[in-house]
Amino acid sequence: MRFRPRNKADKKIIKKALQDISRTYESNGITKFPVNSDRKKDLNLLFSDIFPQKSAAYAVVSSAVIISGFLFYISDLKMSVDELNKKNQMLIEKNSQLNNNLENITNSIVKLDQETKDHMEIIQKQKEELSEIEKNFEDISSEKDAALQEILDMIKNLDIFSGLITRSGNMYTASNQIQEAKLIIKQTLGDSEEAQDLLAKLDKEKDKIEDYRRRYPDYRPVSGRLTSRFGYRRDPFTGETRFHNGIDIGAITGTPIYSAAYGTVIYTGFNSSSGNHIIIDHGNGYKTYYKHLSKIEVKTGTVVNKGQRIGQVGSTGRSTGPHLHFEIHLYGTIKNPLEYVYYN
């Protein structure tokens, strides 16, 4: 049965009550109106003071309040469900993002592990290379020590006044060995102080050898034919066996005669045995004698170079024909000239 207000007064009262309830809810932002037994009891007490218990207004207002409370409660539940759905969606998205981040972190860890492995392999390889370098360095050091010892022995053996070098060719070899030794020193020691000391010593030895070589009487004094050798022979004048102090080289009168080595002319003159002759002191224990000249072209005190012209072939003094009698003396001892110059 549909309820109808009995009079206009009831309508006004109900309308006003509903408007007041609506305004109260709206102004206070009430979204939940739990209608439980206690709340209904409070409302009944409230409305019983305003309306008689059995009046139509009481029934309407009471029903409206209860229904309104349920509607608001249902609406609030709907809003709570929507919020939960939104939060759930946010959690799903957050979880997806975390999963992506976790996947990225996992990939980074895998990549880092691989890079670490690669770096460890590189480090191991570098350790092996370093070990090889150290081994090579030890080998090089050993080779260096051996090379230095060889060089030092070479320098020691290059003492040209020890009598080890007896021919000019040996001096050329020694000079080449010095150049070779200098190259080894530069390659082995670089520009170190030790290298400079060794190079200076080698240069000193080389200068010594060069000076000795230019004073070494190995230059053929004249072009001609060997007619008499060094040693015992039959004297061409007496027929007796006598010792020949030099060699005789036959040549046409006027043939140029050359100094066998660098030195200083210490004598030019004439005697009945040697005829016109020259003596040159080479300053290293060697002296050379040139006899039976037709003409002397230098003076006493003249410094001559190896191969420099000093006179002409003749037959002065005790001679059987034009030739050069050539002698070599070393510290006063007569030497065989054929050990220094070549004639066949």
Instruction: Output the pLDDT for position 206.
Output: 73
Spans of the chain, pLDDT less than 70: 1-81, 133-178, 182, 185, 188-189
Query: Contacts from 160-164 at CB under 8 Å and sequence distance 24+?
Result: 160/205, 160/208, 160/209, 160/212
Instruction: Output the pLDDT for position 34.
Output: 46
Instruction: Output the pLDDT for position 103.
Output: 80
Instruction: Output the pLDDT for position 242.
Output: 92
Per DSSP, the three-state class of 6 is: coil
The structural domains of the chain, with segments of one domain joined by +, span 1-126, 158-214, 225-339
User: Please, are residues 168 and 218 in contact by the beta-carbon 8 Å criterion?
Assistant: yes
Q: How far apart are CA 272 and CA 320, in angstroms?
A: 13
The domain over range 225-339 is classified in CATH as 2.70.70.10: yes
Six-digit token string for 287: 């002296």
Each residue of 235-284: pLDDT tens digit? 888 889 999 999 999 999 999 999 999 999 999 999 999 999 999 999 98
Instruction: Output the pLDDT for position 61.
Output: 56
> β-strands 333-335, 323-330: how paired?
antiparallel
User: Please, are residues 309 and 295 in contact by the beta-carbon 8 Å criterion?
Assistant: no
Six-digit token string for 286: 């060697």
Among residues 306, 130, 296, which one has the least CA distance to residue 217? 306
